[in-house]
Chains A and B, each alone.
Chain A
């Protein structure tokens, strides 16, 4: 098998310099960013269309950088090169009920935006070319379904994602500070505020876990202040997070001494 140049370049993405731990590599950083830990990687898409600044997490035009696109500010991007950017939400209103479109006062079209990364992968190979983009005809605070009736069309040029021939994110796509700009300020606040357990391999949730006498798991909450890994299994209890309870680390604890109070977890257990 012979590797194509692009495949060889891709391997450089995981180049591990001598002396660098695995946690320096991009495969140690989450990308289900809402907003993220190391980066809010969604920011890489803000400048993907030449002349526009898109919302990092939505199909909303934040700003037109050239006057020709001024009329698109505040509009929503509904289709990109023939592909839908939004989808319809369905499900039951009542438990056991039929699946229906889930329109709400805040979302009258029952429409949700589909993430940039998986949507735009279909057009990134057209960097430098114009693609047809369909927007709402006027600014829209609410989300719209892909077949929304009142639209306007613009031909937009796709920026290149990487510097030519390299695995480096293109200079014009991301400026210093962009990749972290929509993270929490300060990040310590998010460790308390968000209670985001969706990143458990980086920000653990359920630790010191072992089978109890009934064959179920018994463990502790990572944010629990006074836990001990050698607590007898029958006494280990996962306590649901409560920002107001002294049982858990507080905002002030994290602002002042996160280094001391947050513990590393190795093999599922408190390391120190």
Chain B
């Protein structure tokens, strides 16, 4: 007799897929920190991989030791196609377990996936520009195309967001899983020919495409298909123009286009990124339901490195608050978490031209890149000058600085340490000292100098306090 399920949950609650045009997804891997070289490159090693037969929907093998490559032999990018697991709790038990076909009647599981790409809608405000794929409820194990539909698409056209599949549990592989395989990363458009900002067509370039007359127009070779109706009865995404305004995205005018007399004119391009929800219902005597979220973005191009401040940090702070309670972490966990923040900072600057980002003059021009230095001048009319002394910001020197910080944190942080980590309410401090606080040279979600989440900063504060007498009074924490 099967036990009574009390609650079900899809894990992970937010999964990230990554676009790619290879039919073979990336095999699973681990990234391992070498304890003898804690700031060395993380080692990529093979991890337990699940191979799926798309035709049957069954797992064909769960295996170890597969080769890890991010492109296939044809040079195509392998997509990252995450599995979503169905977990449950029985009776009064607090323990969550990954459910198998022995725990529930699998035929009673109903799935639905809804994905959206509403980038054009965010700009035009036209609800007919929303691209939505809805699988409807299903129970089978088909490799199901998630075709994005939009009222402003041409008749019969869809924008493929990838595929979903309810993996069929078998006697050999009984666990309940679902998989999302993202799209290929194609660009879609509104016209097979290139239009100029004034709406007329671009003549064919005779140098590249010899023609015998001036009546030829350029094909748009950037797009895979024309899906958007920019003609009669269609939408305004192609030719949509932005200039300035408080309601626009920040940064604004971030779409493929060209400059026109009234602002930035959209070329009408669309992509196959998306985000949405996977829902499941167990329709038994008592109905149980759960959902999780999914997104599709570009590959992580340095898979052995990680960002300083991540979506996880935001979610963790939203869930647990910015303050750290006494039982939140053991001392060892706190130390590990703090070291991980510094490690991620190190991994970011390691792949960054720190001299450029500092605003050093490289070559004859003083302002050569999109830096915080440029932004300080553009947004606040602050003096244009490098953030740090120009002589100390070579990449290897900045790495050494972080190595020292890491070592300090491991053995007891010095009293000044916390004061040089920027607080979130110090973003307006563009004084020489204010701009030099950490994380330095980088931009945050508000377009200002990067800060950690308050909870990240608290982790470092607690880790430092554990080892030294350094304190930051409650009154000073805002």
Complex partner residue of A117 from B307, B314, B447, CB under 8 angstroms = B314
Q: Give A150-174 as 1s and 0s: 1 = Cβ < 8 Å from B's Cβ atoms.
A: 0000000000011100111101001
Q: A1 and B330 in contact (CB under 8 A), knowing A58-B246, A202-B301, A240-B368? A: yes
The total of Cβ contacts below 8 Å across the A-B interface reads 490
Q: A179 and B275 in contact (CB under 8 A), knowing A23-B303, A185-B255, A198-B442? A: yes
Not counting A41-B314, A102-B381, A168-B293, a sample of 7 additional A-B residue pairs whose C-beta atoms are within 8 angstroms of each other reads A3-B327, A7-B327, A23-B303, A31-B309, A176-B274, A189-B256, A201-B351
Whether A216 and B369, one on each chain, are in contact in the complex, defined by CB atoms closer than 8 angstroms, is: no
Give the chain B neighbours of A256 by CB distance below 8 A: 221-222
B318 proximal to A (CB < 8 A)? yes
Q: A117 and B395 in contact (CB under 8 A), knowing A41-B314, A177-B275? A: no
Q: A87 and B302 in contact (CB under 8 A), knowing A24-B12, A177-B275, A185-B119? A: no
A19 proximal to B (CB < 8 A)? yes
Of A112, A168, A200, which is in contact with the most chain B CB atoms at under 10 Å from its CB?
A: A200
Of B312, B314, B317, B396, which is in contact with the most chain A CB atoms at under 10 Å from its CB?
A: B314
A66 proximal to B (CB < 8 A)? no
Distance in angstroms between the alpha carbons of A74 and B247 in the assembled complex: 8
Give the chain A neighbours of B321 by CB distance below 8 A: 121, 124-125
Distance in angstroms between the alpha carbons of A166 and B300 in the assembled complex: 27
In the assembled complex, 19 residue pairs joining A and B whose CB atoms fall closer than 8 Å, in A order, are A24-B80, A26-B315, A29-B295, A32-B308, A62-B247, A94-B383, A96-B383, A107-B380, A118-B454, A169-B14, A176-B274, A180-B119, A186-B270, A195-B369, A196-B370, A198-B443, A200-B349, A206-B352, A259-B75
Count A-side interface residues using an 8 Å CB cutoff. Answer: 145
Give the chain B neighbours of A272 by CB distance below 8 A: 71, 75
Whether A24 and B118, one on each chain, are in contact in the complex, defined by CB atoms closer than 8 angstroms, is: no
Whether A34 and B77, one on each chain, are in contact in the complex, defined by CB atoms closer than 8 angstroms, is: no
Distance in angstroms between the alpha carbons of A206 and B395 in the assembled complex: 9
Whether B429 and A90, one on each chain, are in contact in the complex, defined by CB atoms closer than 8 angstroms, is: yes
> Residues on A close to B: CB < 8 A?
1-4, 6-7, 9-10, 12-35, 37-39, 41-42, 44, 55-58, 60, 62, 74, 83-84, 87-97, 99, 102, 104, 107, 110, 112-119, 121-122, 124-125, 140-141, 161-163, 166-169, 171, 174-191, 193-207, 209, 211, 215-217, 219, 221-222, 238, 240-241, 251-252, 255-256, 258-260, 262-268, 271-272
Whether B322 and A17, one on each chain, are in contact in the complex, defined by CB atoms closer than 8 angstroms, is: no
Q: Which of B1-52 contact A (CB under 8 A)?
A: 9-18, 20-21, 26, 28-31, 41, 44, 47-50
Whether A90 and B185, one on each chain, are in contact in the complex, defined by CB atoms closer than 8 angstroms, is: no
Closest to B269 in A: A186
Whether A186 and B271, one on each chain, are in contact in the complex, defined by CB atoms closer than 8 angstroms, is: yes
Whether B83 and A180, one on each chain, are in contact in the complex, defined by CB atoms closer than 8 angstroms, is: no
Give the chain B neighbours of A161 by CB distance below 8 A: 318-319
Closest to A195 in B: B370
B338 proximal to A (CB < 8 A)? no
Of A21, A84, A88, A90, which is in contact with the most chain B CB atoms at under 10 Å from its CB?
A: A21
Q: A16 and B451 in contact (CB under 8 A), knowing A24-B17, A113-B446, A187-B297? A: no
Distance in angstroms between the alpha carbons of A250 and B31 in the assembled complex: 32
Complex partner residue of A240 from B291, B356, B379, CB under 8 angstroms = B356
Distance in angstroms between the alpha carbons of A198 and B435 in the assembled complex: 15
Distance in angstroms between the alpha carbons of A116 and B187 in the assembled complex: 32
Distance in angstroms between the alpha carbons of A209 and B293 in the assembled complex: 38
Distance in angstroms between the alpha carbons of A203 and B303 in the assembled complex: 10
Q: Give B72-86 as 1s and 0s: 1 = Cβ < 8 Å from A's Cβ atoms.
A: 000111001011110
Distance in angstroms between the alpha carbons of A56 and B83 in the assembled complex: 30
Closest to B315 in A: A13
Q: Give B364-408 as 1s and 0s: 1 = Cβ < 8 Å from A's Cβ atoms.
A: 000011100000100111111100000000111000000000000
Complex partner residue of B82 from A20, A104, A198, CB under 8 angstroms = A20
Whether B448 and A112, one on each chain, are in contact in the complex, defined by CB atoms closer than 8 angstroms, is: yes
Distance in angstroms between the alpha carbons of A41 and B299 in the assembled complex: 17
Of A2, A9, A271, which is in contact with the most chain B CB atoms at under 10 Å from its CB?
A: A271
Of B304, B320, B381, B446, which is in contact with the most chain A CB atoms at under 10 Å from its CB?
A: B446
Give the chain B neighbours of A197 by CB distance below 8 A: 352-353, 356-357, 369-370
Whether A7 and B185, one on each chain, are in contact in the complex, defined by CB atoms closer than 8 angstroms, is: no
Complex partner residue of B351 from A60, A114, A196, A268, CB under 8 angstroms = A268
Complex partner residue of B320 from A7, A32, A114, CB under 8 angstroms = A7
Give the chain B neighbours of A115 by CB distance below 8 A: 424, 444-446, 448, 451
* Shortest distance between the CB of A145 and any CB in chain B (Å): 10
Complex partner residue of A13 from B10, B71, B319, B347, CB under 8 angstroms = B319
Whether A37 and B21, one on each chain, are in contact in the complex, defined by CB atoms closer than 8 angstroms, is: no
Whether A18 and B48, one on each chain, are in contact in the complex, defined by CB atoms closer than 8 angstroms, is: yes
Q: Which 4 A-B pairs have the closest CB atoms?
A: A177-B116, A91-B430, A186-B271, A38-B297
B106 proximal to A (CB < 8 A)? no
